Structure 1
């Protein structure tokens, strides 16, 4: 189990539950059927390890443990860890009390494949996705619950106002599916917005034909001024006029799918290479 300084006692409430903490963005899922539905969003094929982020009191964990997989959980809240130790002894040394965003998962999974799942805290949900992208070579599947608006944005296609940086970067490497909407009433405390469950399935070939770091930079820079054409939003790349006359530079970023962003990156990359010769 992940090491931590002090083993906490589960706080005493009327029903023995853990108190949700606002600074951790905790909204505990209380609906068993929703938890079961989320647990079944993964295929459990091609890997035998699953990491749940932020299990809280284990309503989703319970159903994950019924699947044919080795379940690990990562939880930053000491009180939730104590609750999980008491109620889910079958997890044994697979409860890791760390911050997912800062923890080196190689110490747990080494170079093995694993899926990621969870009811994600809204305040760090996009950061979780960026970390998954960093670890895409190890994560063939990812599913879980986000604020509905964020889940929709990740799965959105070009041509829509909600389409943005996350949409492009995720869809370059994963097939993104919005699965279902979850109302606030199934949480304690209830959030002020609907939630949405999505699934990301890594593409068979998830390598890019262009420089990956440059691709990320092009996408992020383009959407920083999303109302402008690429000719204007990518001025910081200091591209020559003859390249900027290409028809693609007359488009706005939301008009480009991930494949067109790859083509755009290749054009910029080829110019950089030729300029160095």
Structure 2
């Protein structure tokens, strides 16, 4: 199995193929191979595994995933300028890399993976990171793990605990459906061009079952309503759900004077079940 040592430095690849990062595509290339290796390791052992990567760009993280022993790496790249550089990576790693020119938001992962559980590892374009995460949370049965780089603000929201400023809808959905862990931050200086924000790597491992029983659509509705006016007490912020709001809260064992950020995920699931029963 080749290790890609014959490949030129990433800066040379960028110059050779004229790969100037495009702001419209949310591109910030990570060239530090120590960091890309560290990201790949966050997913655990990749020996013999299938991995899905989104937005590989010139292939820095791609190289690290393949060097870590992935049996098959499927990379989705929207920018056609990057395809020749990625073909070089595929050639250097015995063809274990398959590159698909397409938009990850429109991707049918189930069809692509053909029932083979995979890891996702990606330095996500900031402008589509949250929609992609929500899409994958709803398809979590396809994945063994998701190791994803976000801007720090989004990483904070995914892993936030109750009673913190970052805690909200994304925290609850992510942690209800997955075990989440914050890995490490990456300085803007590590990227070309440097973004204006710090980045954070987060790993999400899908749960076999959600953390607590609740209907997902109802839970999302209750959470969205509660956080829609997060500074208000729940007896006021939940009024738009209709019905006797205070009675619902009391039945769920929640003080009507509580605010959304004070409730645990279990509290929200209990409230969702009570609300569903009242419909």
CA contact (8 A) 2:14 2:58 kept: no
CA contact (8 A) 2:183 2:201 kept: yes
Q: Residue 229 of structure 2 corresponds to which residue in structure 1? A: 225
- Partners of 1:220 and 1:53 lie apart in 2 by 28
Q: Deviations over 1:74-126 (max 9, x none)?
A: 11111112321233234467211111111111221133311111111111111
- Partners of 1:227 and 1:203 lie apart in 2 by 31
Name the CA shift for 1:220/1:110 in 2 (closer, same or farther; >3 Å): farther
- Partners of 1:121 and 1:161 lie apart in 2 by 24
**Alpha-carbon offset, residue 48 of structure 1:** 2.6
Say what the alpha-carbon RMSD is for the aligned residues. Answer: 2.2
Q: Residue 271 of structure 2 corresponds to which residue in structure 1? A: 264
Q: Residue 6 of structure 1 corresponds to which residue in structure 2? A: none
Q: Quick one: which of 154, 158, 170 aligns to 1:150?
A: 154
**Alpha-carbon offset, residue 13 of structure 1:** 6.6
1:65 match: secondary structure: helix
- Partners of 2:47 and 2:37 lie apart in 1 by 21
**Alpha-carbon offset, residue 16 of structure 1:** 3.7
Gaps of 5+ in 1: 1-11, 273-277
CA contact (8 A) 2:182 2:203 kept: yes
Q: Residue 57 of structure 2 corresponds to which residue in structure 1? A: 56
Q: Which moved more, 1:163-172 or 1:46-55?
A: 46-55
Q: Is 1:115 the counterpart of 2:119 in the alignment? A: yes
Q: Deviations over 1:147-171 (max 9, x none)?
A: 1121112111000011111001000
User: With structure 1 as the length reference, what TM-score do the two structures score?
Assistant: 0.87
2:143 match: secondary structure: coil
Name the CA shift for 1:40/1:148 in 2 (closer, same or farther; >3 Å): same
CA contact (8 A) 2:110 2:142 kept: no
Q: Deviations over 1:222-243 (max 9, x none)?
A: 2111111222222222122562
User: With structure 2 as the length reference, what TM-score do the two structures score?
Assistant: 0.86
Q: Deviations over 1:36-93 (max 9, x none)?
A: 0001000247983110111001101101112333211111111112321233234467
- Partners of 1:52 and 1:173 lie apart in 2 by 21
Q: Residue 191 of structure 2 corresponds to which residue in structure 1? A: 187
Q: Quick one: which of 75, 80, 83 aligns to 1:81?
A: 83
Q: Residue 236 of structure 1 corresponds to which residue in structure 2? A: 240
Name the CA shift for 1:91/1:243 in 2 (closer, same or farther; >3 Å): farther
Q: Quick one: which of 261, 268, 271 aligns to 1:254?
A: 261
Aligned residues: 261
Name the CA shift for 1:242/1:29 in 2 (closer, same or farther; >3 Å): closer
Name the CA shift for 1:79/1:206 in 2 (closer, same or farther; >3 Å): same
Q: Is 1:30 the counterpart of 2:37 in the alignment? A: no
